[in-house]
Structure 1
Amino acid sequence: MIANQGSTHGIGWFSIIRLGTVQAAIGAIVMLATSLLNRVMVVEYAIAASVPAGLVAWHYGVQLTRPIWGHNSDRSAHRSTWVIGGMGVLALGTLLSVDATIMMASKGVFPVFLAIAGFSMIGLGVGMSGTALLALLASRVSVERKPAAAAISWTMMVAGIVVAAGVSGSYLDPFTETRLAIVTSIVVLVAFCAAVLALHGLERGSQPVDSGMPKPNIPLREVIQNIWDDGPARRFTYFVFISMLAYSMQDLILEPFAGFVFDMSPGESTKLAGVQHSGILLGMLISGAGGSLLARKYGQNPRFWIILGCFSSAIMLVGLSFAATVGPAWPLKTNVFALGVANGVFAVAAVGAMLQLASDGRASGEGARMGVWGAAQAIAFGAGGLLGAVIVDQLRARIGQDSIAFQTVFAVEAAMFVVAALIATATQMTRPTPARKAVIL
């Protein structure tokens, strides 16, 4: 293996796969709260969609603490400690949220407060573990391997979501509260144990990659100001916000859409989420493999794949807006699968750009930068999910037609993806690097 002179190899492929396993565990647990519990509250318990949307929005609001966790992990000797601690908080918060959801079958205020506490823990856990994990990837993976590392880690994350959605969907029908409690508990336990095993001893066998820029020990406020003064980092933050806002508006309404318009059962709509994430998995593989081939010939620039994925996502959302009018005759699964493919293409390219830009700060470490971008994503997801659900609730109440309510949200999302693509065209997503000798991986 030949590498650039003066650079550090970073972790190997097997270690990257281990970190991808942690991503898969996080995705599997979060899917239970943002997808399954959302469906149960809205359809089975006839709770207004804005209630679970508000809980999910709150858990994203809590993730505004991401820069704090990232900055602290920059100062820590071992980032894996923050990842495991966050996973523990995430697991406990999810189990608490499941209990709160089951209690919502009987009216009362206490289940709502319990759910707020559970989703607060979910937000803290995801923010802590996710930010530290991304910083670990950015700091321990060599520049040449970062695009592939992004594809591997996010592909495994989606694979974890697909497996969790498929397993839980298969065992939830016929739906009972006991089944819900047992299935979710098993998924949480398996995911947490897999993450802990994957991280065991990983940092002891590797050293951070030399980014060539010292990271002084300065206060968080100055670190964030340093990031915001960096033009490419600031524009990339705009892109993350707009693209994630577009993506998240359908995240909380897709399963209720399948239930109301296509008359799907809880198990069927949960499997539909698995179909979407299967498409995301394929899209990530396409983007990762295609990006690697183009990188060898033209250099590492993920912008093409980002723009392609955003425009394709807009087209597929236009298709869903037609599906809202056509109803069961529309090939919903095919449309949702294609939307997943488009989402996967732009997502893995964006993560690749994120990993490459994370080590560019003169005073900010990888954790702080990942924290800022993670906070932008959290704001977008919280606002987007809540906005989509509120629009659906209001239009359904005023117009009395489910199809028009869902159609409106899908059309707005499509327009936002177009805006995100336009922002991406004006954003430098790779850092300039000095001439290097050829690298053979």
Structure 2
Amino acid sequence: MQRGFGWWSILRLGAVQAAIGAITMLATSLLNRLMVLEYGLAAGIPAGLVAWHYGVQLSRPLWGHGSDIGRRRTPWILAGMVTLGLGALLAVRGVTLLDEMHVQGIALSVLAFTLIGAGVGAAGTSVLALLATGVAPERRAAAAAVTWIMMVFGIVVAAGTAGALLDPYSEQRLAAVASGVVGVAVLVTLLATFRLEGRAAPGRFRAGSSPPPSLREALTEIFADDEARRFTLFIFVSMLAYSMQDLILEPFTGLVFAMTPGQSTSLSSLQNSGVLIGMIVTGIGGSAFRGRLPIELRTWTMLGCLGSAAALAGLVLAARVGPGWPLAANIALLGLFNGAFAVSAIGSMMGLAGVGRRNGEGVRMGVWGTAQAIAFGLGGLLGALGVDFTRAALGRPGTAFALIFAIEAGLFLFSAMLAMRTRATPTPSIALRSAGI
């Protein structure tokens, strides 16, 4: 019997995720700030560009299907990274045009973020599909933890390095720093994927299986499968809840707890540290019980959702109590359970990707990646708009934040119910249906 990916191969794919995170950081974080502060654009313009790059990721099933029928994932990963890097460099050029040629700069930025969305979709979907086909079931939770931790690591390192090298700011320095980040990320991807798939991904196509289906057939099969439909809904609802807090947590600490920007940033760092710890603990725990993985992954997912709901309920109370509430501990717990949920959900995604009637892991990963991208794009926007409208209507910031946090908690409770009914690997009945019986 052939062996799946070893830890070294998993780490190599994690390096690809780190490279994706590093380039994406340039567009969604660094350029966002520059457009608003250095170039005086309305905040809605960069926010709209970021939302557009999520919208482009509706194409994820198409990229996943391409890697299915091509019988190799690596070319799609490399093509996606090159597209992502080109998009990031064009986005930098678009920003530098804003002073002299405003309309042209905006138009180039739209094109750039289109390429960024396509690149993230192609590379990210193919990495997940390769993990789904190459990682043994007992290692999926740990593999998800490793790759996502490395992605966060890539974002942190790139942000810290770029921030240090950009001072004092100039457009020439921005172009040089962006070129350096993109160049290193593409080189890392080339080295990480060199001969990876041919040597370390046994069982790429299941023995005796039919050729991969067409895109329409694959999508029809997915949405005719109750398990796949339920899991798609779970991904959308849970990621919507996960992302609604992104744009409102720091304003919450400032408006309700009168914290300074530095104090709010420190709490944000504490939350991210909690996310990393939750990922590590879940990665270890979810892979520690061989032979019982489907139950364990589902249990970790439910615990992550329920714990996140409880932490958000704590923030509802914090909005009412104000100063005096143990806010730091509350936010750290939120990060911890968010990390546990995220890793176990990705591990479950890997397990369900291979239960189709024919080889279609890429399309399945693409569908779930699309659900995640739409949820991320909507979540931050709905959270921020919800707070704004509620504050305007009620005139009480604490009540406005409490309402949004309560909605998030409800979404996480609904997600836990969906997770309880979702399996991470095929049961006998699914296996029989997959064989056409």
Q: Find out whether 1:288 has 2:283 as its counterpart.
A: yes
Say if 1:158 and 1:277, in contact at 8 Å, map to a contact too: no
SS of the aligned residue for 2:296 comes to coil
SS of the aligned residue for 2:273 comes to helix
Change (3 A) 1:89 1:322: farther
Match of 1:431 among 417, 426, 429: 426
Q: Partner of 1:238 in structure 2?
A: 233
**How far did 1:182 drift?**
5.0
Match of 2:385 among 381, 384, 390: 390
User: What are the within-5 Å matches in structure 2 for residues 41-440 of structure 1?
Assistant: 41=35, 47-101=41-95, 108-169=102-163, 182-209=176-203, 211=206, 214-254=209-249, 262-264=259-261, 275-295=270-290, 301-320=296-315, 335-395=330-390, 406-432=401-427
Unmatched tracts of structure 2, length 5 or more: 430-437
* Partner Cα separation in structure 1 for residue 400 and residue 178 of structure 2: 31
Say if 1:158 and 1:280, in contact at 8 Å, map to a contact too: no
The percent of aligned pairs where both chains have the same amino acid is: 53
**How far did 1:78 drift?**
2.6
* Partner Cα separation in structure 2 for residue 62 and residue 327 of structure 1: 40
**TM-score (norm. length: structure 2):** 0.84
Change (3 A) 1:201 1:173: same
Say if 2:212 and 2:360, in contact at 8 Å, map to a contact too: no
Say if 2:355 and 2:425, in contact at 8 Å, map to a contact too: no
**How far did 1:317 drift?**
3.2
SS of the aligned residue for 2:371 comes to helix
Amino acid across the alignment from 1:128: A
Larger deviation, residues 372-381 vs 166-175 = 166-175
Say if 2:141 and 2:282, in contact at 8 Å, map to a contact too: no
**How far did 1:172 drift?**
5.8
**TM-score (norm. length: structure 1):** 0.83
Amino acid across the alignment from 1:204: G
**How far did 1:387 drift?**
2.0
**How far did 1:384 drift?**
1.6
Say if 1:313 and 1:339, in contact at 8 Å, map to a contact too: yes
Q: Find out whether 1:16 has 2:10 as its counterpart.
A: yes
* Partner Cα separation in structure 1 for residue 382 and residue 417 of structure 2: 23
**How far did 1:75 drift?**
1.3
Aligned residues: 426
SS of the aligned residue for 2:261 comes to coil
Change (3 A) 1:212 1:326: farther
Say if 1:166 and 1:271, in contact at 8 Å, map to a contact too: no
Larger deviation, residues 301-310 vs 157-166 = 157-166
Q: Partner of 2:29 in structure 1?
A: 35
**How far did 1:250 drift?**
2.4
* Partner Cα separation in structure 1 for residue 405 and residue 348 of structure 2: 27
**How far did 1:31 drift?**
2.9
* Partner Cα separation in structure 1 for residue 283 and residue 121 of structure 2: 25
Larger deviation, residues 78-87 vs 314-323 = 314-323
**How far did 1:93 drift?**
1.5
Say if 1:42 and 1:256, in contact at 8 Å, map to a contact too: no
The one-character-per-residue Cα deviations of 1:140-185 (angstroms, maximum 9, x if unpaired) are 2233333332222222222222333444455567777666555444
Larger deviation, residues 123-132 vs 408-417 = 408-417
* Partner Cα separation in structure 2 for residue 167 and residue 215 of structure 1: 48
The structure whose RCO (Cα within 8 Å, separation 6+) is larger is 1
Unmatched tracts of structure 1, length 5 or more: 1-6, 435-441
Say if 1:93 and 1:120, in contact at 8 Å, map to a contact too: yes
